[in-house]
Protein backbone atom coordinates (compact mmCIF):
# COMPACT_ATOMS: atom_id res chain seq x y z
CA UNK A 1 0.00 0.00 0.00
CA UNK A 2 2.81 2.35 0.95
CA UNK A 3 4.77 1.58 -2.22
CA UNK A 4 1.65 2.27 -4.30
CA UNK A 5 1.27 5.68 -2.67
CA UNK A 6 4.91 6.48 -3.36
CA UNK A 7 4.52 5.41 -6.98
CA UNK A 8 1.40 7.56 -7.45
CA UNK A 9 3.10 10.49 -5.74
CA UNK A 10 6.11 10.12 -8.01
CA UNK A 11 3.90 10.04 -11.12
CA UNK A 12 1.97 13.14 -10.02
CA UNK A 13 5.20 15.02 -9.23
CA UNK A 14 6.69 14.08 -12.60
CA UNK A 15 3.58 15.16 -14.49
CA UNK A 16 3.52 18.43 -12.56
CA UNK A 17 7.15 19.20 -13.39
CA UNK A 18 6.67 18.26 -17.06
CA UNK A 19 3.53 20.40 -17.26
CA UNK A 20 5.29 23.33 -15.60
CA UNK A 21 8.26 23.21 -17.97
CA UNK A 22 5.92 22.75 -20.92
CA UNK A 23 3.94 25.82 -19.87
CA UNK A 24 7.15 27.84 -19.61
CA UNK A 25 9.02 26.69 -22.70
CA UNK A 26 6.41 25.46 -25.19
CA UNK A 27 5.86 28.99 -26.65
CA UNK A 28 9.61 29.35 -27.15
CA UNK A 29 9.83 25.96 -28.86
CA UNK A 30 6.93 26.86 -31.16
CA UNK A 31 8.57 30.18 -32.03
CA UNK A 32 11.89 28.53 -32.91
CA UNK A 33 10.28 25.75 -34.94
CA UNK A 34 8.05 28.06 -36.97
CA UNK A 35 10.96 30.36 -37.76
CA UNK A 36 11.94 27.60 -40.23
CA UNK A 37 8.45 27.16 -41.69
CA UNK A 38 7.99 27.83 -45.41
CA UNK A 39 4.59 29.43 -44.90
CA UNK A 40 4.03 32.64 -42.91
CA UNK A 41 2.68 32.24 -39.41
CA UNK A 42 -0.03 31.17 -38.38
CA UNK A 43 -0.13 28.73 -41.31
CA UNK A 44 0.47 25.04 -40.47
CA UNK A 45 3.87 23.47 -40.98
CA UNK A 46 4.64 23.34 -44.70
CA UNK A 47 8.30 22.39 -44.78
CA UNK A 48 11.76 23.50 -43.69
CA UNK A 49 13.37 26.66 -45.06
CA UNK A 50 16.12 29.19 -44.30
CA UNK A 51 14.30 31.88 -46.27
CA UNK A 52 13.29 34.02 -43.30
CA UNK A 53 16.82 34.04 -41.88
CA UNK A 54 18.15 34.97 -45.32
CA UNK A 55 15.64 37.82 -45.49
CA UNK A 56 16.58 38.90 -41.97
CA UNK A 57 20.29 38.96 -42.84
CA UNK A 58 20.18 40.61 -46.26
CA UNK A 59 16.91 42.59 -46.49
CA UNK A 60 16.40 44.10 -43.05
CA UNK A 61 18.38 47.33 -42.85
CA UNK A 62 15.96 48.86 -40.36
CA UNK A 63 16.29 45.87 -38.06
CA UNK A 64 20.08 46.15 -38.10
CA UNK A 65 19.83 49.89 -37.40
CA UNK A 66 17.60 49.16 -34.40
CA UNK A 67 20.01 46.44 -33.24
CA UNK A 68 22.90 48.89 -33.54
CA UNK A 69 21.02 51.41 -31.37
CA UNK A 70 20.29 48.73 -28.77
CA UNK A 71 23.93 47.66 -28.62
CA UNK A 72 25.20 51.24 -28.30
CA UNK A 73 22.71 52.05 -25.54
CA UNK A 74 23.29 48.78 -23.66
CA UNK A 75 27.08 48.93 -23.82
CA UNK A 76 27.12 52.60 -22.78
CA UNK A 77 24.73 51.98 -19.90
CA UNK A 78 26.78 48.98 -18.77
CA UNK A 79 30.03 50.96 -18.85
CA UNK A 80 28.58 53.95 -16.98
CA UNK A 81 26.82 51.77 -14.39
CA UNK A 82 30.03 49.88 -13.61
CA UNK A 83 32.11 53.07 -13.44
CA UNK A 84 29.66 54.63 -10.97
CA UNK A 85 29.44 51.42 -8.94
CA UNK A 86 33.24 51.19 -8.74
CA UNK A 87 33.35 54.85 -7.66
CA UNK A 88 30.89 54.00 -4.91
CA UNK A 89 33.13 51.19 -3.66
CA UNK A 90 36.14 53.50 -3.77
CA UNK A 91 34.24 56.00 -1.61
CA UNK A 92 33.57 53.24 0.91
CA UNK A 93 37.25 52.30 1.02
CA UNK A 94 38.06 55.89 1.95
CA UNK A 95 35.50 55.78 4.74
CA UNK A 96 32.84 57.79 2.93
CA UNK A 97 29.34 58.08 4.32
CA UNK A 98 27.69 56.84 1.16
CA UNK A 99 27.42 53.40 2.78
CA UNK A 100 24.48 54.73 4.80
CA UNK A 101 22.62 55.55 1.57
CA UNK A 102 23.26 52.23 -0.17
CA UNK A 103 19.60 51.24 0.15
CA UNK A 104 18.70 54.03 -2.29
CA UNK A 105 20.17 51.97 -5.12
CA UNK A 106 17.76 49.13 -4.35
CA UNK A 107 14.82 51.36 -5.30
CA UNK A 108 15.03 50.26 -8.94
CA UNK A 109 14.26 46.72 -7.83
CA UNK A 110 11.15 47.83 -5.89
CA UNK A 111 9.65 50.70 -7.86
CA UNK A 112 7.62 49.56 -10.91
CA UNK A 113 9.54 50.27 -14.10
CA UNK A 114 6.66 52.22 -15.63
CA UNK A 115 6.73 54.61 -12.65
CA UNK A 116 10.46 55.15 -13.17
CA UNK A 117 9.91 55.68 -16.90
CA UNK A 118 7.16 58.29 -16.39
CA UNK A 119 9.22 60.08 -13.75
CA UNK A 120 12.29 60.29 -15.97
CA UNK A 121 10.18 61.43 -18.91
CA UNK A 122 8.78 64.28 -16.79
CA UNK A 123 12.31 65.28 -15.76
CA UNK A 124 13.46 65.38 -19.39
CA UNK A 125 10.40 67.41 -20.36
CA UNK A 126 10.86 69.95 -17.54
CA UNK A 127 14.53 70.35 -18.43
CA UNK A 128 13.72 70.70 -22.15
CA UNK A 129 16.00 67.75 -22.99
CA UNK A 130 15.15 66.28 -26.41
CA UNK A 131 14.43 62.57 -26.36
CA UNK A 132 16.89 60.43 -28.26
CA UNK A 133 19.86 58.15 -27.88
CA UNK A 134 21.40 60.18 -25.04
CA UNK A 135 18.23 60.05 -22.93
CA UNK A 136 18.06 56.32 -23.57
CA UNK A 137 21.60 55.92 -22.24
CA UNK A 138 20.72 57.97 -19.16
CA UNK A 139 17.59 56.00 -18.28
CA UNK A 140 19.26 52.64 -18.90
CA UNK A 141 22.18 53.72 -16.70
CA UNK A 142 19.73 54.58 -13.93
CA UNK A 143 18.17 51.15 -14.37
CA UNK A 144 21.55 49.43 -14.45
CA UNK A 145 22.72 51.05 -11.21
CA UNK A 146 20.00 49.14 -9.38
CA UNK A 147 21.74 45.91 -10.39
CA UNK A 148 25.43 46.82 -10.64
CA UNK A 149 25.66 48.48 -7.21
CA UNK A 150 24.10 45.61 -5.20
CA UNK A 151 26.30 43.03 -6.96
CA UNK A 152 29.54 44.92 -6.30
CA UNK A 153 28.51 46.03 -2.82
CA UNK A 154 27.67 42.46 -1.78
CA UNK A 155 31.04 41.25 -3.02
CA UNK A 156 32.85 44.11 -1.28
CA UNK A 157 31.15 43.28 2.03
CA UNK A 158 32.40 39.69 1.69
CA UNK A 159 36.05 40.78 1.48
CA UNK A 160 38.36 40.18 4.42
CA UNK A 161 38.89 43.66 5.91
CA UNK A 162 42.25 42.52 7.28
CA UNK A 163 43.66 42.60 3.76
CA UNK A 164 42.72 46.26 3.38
CA UNK A 165 44.02 47.12 6.84
CA UNK A 166 47.30 45.30 6.18
CA UNK A 167 47.79 47.18 2.92
CA UNK A 168 47.25 50.53 4.63
CA UNK A 169 49.51 49.57 7.55
CA UNK A 170 52.30 48.66 5.14
CA UNK A 171 52.30 52.18 3.69
CA UNK A 172 49.97 51.93 0.70
CA UNK A 173 47.54 54.79 0.20
CA UNK A 174 43.83 54.37 -0.59
CA UNK A 175 44.40 54.54 -4.34
CA UNK A 176 47.05 51.81 -4.26
CA UNK A 177 44.99 49.62 -1.94
CA UNK A 178 41.97 49.96 -4.17
CA UNK A 179 43.91 49.23 -7.37
CA UNK A 180 46.10 46.39 -6.06
CA UNK A 181 43.84 44.68 -3.52
CA UNK A 182 40.16 45.46 -3.97
CA UNK A 183 39.76 45.64 -7.75
CA UNK A 184 41.37 42.22 -8.39
CA UNK A 185 39.17 40.67 -5.68
CA UNK A 186 35.93 42.08 -7.13
CA UNK A 187 36.87 41.60 -10.79
CA UNK A 188 34.55 38.60 -11.21
CA UNK A 189 31.70 40.64 -9.76
CA UNK A 190 32.45 43.38 -12.28
CA UNK A 191 32.02 40.92 -15.13
CA UNK A 192 28.88 39.40 -13.61
CA UNK A 193 27.36 42.81 -12.91
CA UNK A 194 28.24 44.01 -16.39
CA UNK A 195 26.60 41.00 -18.05
CA UNK A 196 23.50 41.41 -15.90
CA UNK A 197 23.14 45.10 -16.70
CA UNK A 198 23.74 44.48 -20.41
CA UNK A 199 21.09 41.75 -20.61
CA UNK A 200 18.50 43.83 -18.76
CA UNK A 201 19.26 46.97 -20.77
CA UNK A 202 19.27 45.16 -24.12
CA UNK A 203 15.86 43.56 -23.46
CA UNK A 204 14.25 46.59 -21.82
CA UNK A 205 11.08 47.88 -23.44
CA UNK A 206 9.24 50.15 -20.98
CA UNK A 207 11.99 52.73 -20.43
CA UNK A 208 12.91 52.68 -24.11
CA UNK A 209 9.30 53.19 -25.17
CA UNK A 210 8.82 56.27 -22.98
CA UNK A 211 12.22 57.92 -23.40
CA UNK A 212 13.41 57.11 -26.92
CA UNK A 213 11.51 59.73 -28.89
CA UNK A 214 11.37 59.37 -32.67
CA UNK A 215 15.06 59.76 -33.48
CA UNK A 216 16.26 56.58 -31.76
CA UNK A 217 14.55 53.21 -31.94
CA UNK A 218 15.77 50.17 -30.04
CA UNK A 219 15.19 46.61 -31.16
CA UNK A 220 12.29 45.80 -28.78
CA UNK A 221 10.41 48.90 -29.98
CA UNK A 222 11.02 48.00 -33.61
CA UNK A 223 9.74 44.46 -33.03
CA UNK A 224 6.54 45.93 -31.59
CA UNK A 225 6.08 48.07 -34.70
CA UNK A 226 6.54 44.96 -36.85
CA UNK A 227 3.95 43.01 -34.86
CA UNK A 228 1.34 45.74 -35.37
CA UNK A 229 1.23 44.87 -39.07
CA UNK A 230 1.01 41.13 -38.44
CA UNK A 231 3.28 38.36 -37.18
CA UNK A 232 5.99 38.19 -39.82
CA UNK A 233 8.18 35.06 -39.91
CA UNK A 234 11.13 37.44 -39.91
CA UNK A 235 10.13 38.32 -36.34
CA UNK A 236 10.35 34.62 -35.46
CA UNK A 237 13.81 34.41 -37.00
CA UNK A 238 14.92 37.58 -35.22
CA UNK A 239 13.50 36.38 -31.89
CA UNK A 240 15.28 33.05 -32.28
CA UNK A 241 18.58 34.83 -32.87
CA UNK A 242 18.04 37.04 -29.84
CA UNK A 243 17.12 33.97 -27.79
CA UNK A 244 20.41 32.31 -28.70
CA UNK A 245 22.35 35.48 -27.91
CA UNK A 246 20.62 36.02 -24.56
CA UNK A 247 21.03 32.34 -23.65
CA UNK A 248 24.77 32.58 -24.29
CA UNK A 249 25.03 35.62 -22.02
CA UNK A 250 22.99 33.90 -19.29
CA UNK A 251 25.24 30.83 -19.48
CA UNK A 252 28.33 33.01 -19.11
CA UNK A 253 26.65 34.87 -16.22
CA UNK A 254 25.79 31.63 -14.39
CA UNK A 255 29.26 30.22 -14.99
CA UNK A 256 30.98 33.29 -13.54
CA UNK A 257 28.49 33.41 -10.66
CA UNK A 258 29.29 29.78 -9.83
CA UNK A 259 33.02 30.50 -9.91
CA UNK A 260 32.53 33.34 -7.43
CA UNK A 261 31.02 30.91 -4.92
CA UNK A 262 33.96 28.51 -5.09
Q: Which domain holds residue 117?
A: 61-261
DSSP string, 124-191: HHHTTPPPSHHHHHHHHHHHHHHHHHHHHHHHHHHS-HHHHHHHHHTT--HHHHIIIIIHHHTHHHHH
Residue 41 lies in a domain: no
The whole-chain average pLDDT of the chain stands at 81
- pLDDT value of residue 211: 85
Residue 188 lies in a domain: yes
Residue 17 lies in a domain: no
* pLDDT tier at 22, thresholds 50, 70, 90: confident
Residue 14 lies in a domain: no
Q: Nearest to residue 140, comparing CAs of 171, 166, 108?
A: 108
- pLDDT value of residue 72: 92
Q: Does the predicted model carry a pTM greater than 0.75?
A: yes
Mean pLDDT of 153-165: 80
* pLDDT tier at 141, thresholds 50, 70, 90: very high
Residue 52 lies in a domain: no
Total structural domains within the chain: 1
> What digits encode the pLDDT tens for the residues 62-116?
888 888 888 999 999 999 999 998 888 877 777 666 666 777 777 777 888 888 8
Which of 119-128, 139-148, 166-175, 227-236 has the least mean pLDDT?
227-236
- pLDDT value of residue 100: 66
Cross-strand partners of 48: 37
Residue 43 lies in a domain: no
Residue 8 lies in a domain: no
- pLDDT value of residue 74: 92
Cross-strand partners of 210: none
Residue 35 near residue 26 (C-beta atoms within 8 A): no
Is 213's pLDDT higher than 80? no
Residue 40 lies in a domain: no
* pLDDT tier at 129, thresholds 50, 70, 90: confident
* pLDDT tier at 169, thresholds 50, 70, 90: confident
CATH number of 220's domain: 1.10.3720.10
Measured CA to CA, the distance from residue 225 to residue 205 in angstroms comes to: 12
Measured CA to CA, the distance from residue 247 to residue 197 in angstroms comes to: 15
Amino acid sequence: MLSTRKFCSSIVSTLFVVGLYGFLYLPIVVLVVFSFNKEPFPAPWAGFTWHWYHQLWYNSDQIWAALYNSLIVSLSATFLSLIMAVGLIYNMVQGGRIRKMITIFYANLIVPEIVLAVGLLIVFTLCSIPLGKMTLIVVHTVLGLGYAVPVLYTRYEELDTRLIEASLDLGANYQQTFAKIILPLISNSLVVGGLLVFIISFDDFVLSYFCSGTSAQTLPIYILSMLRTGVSPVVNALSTGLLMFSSLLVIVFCFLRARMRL
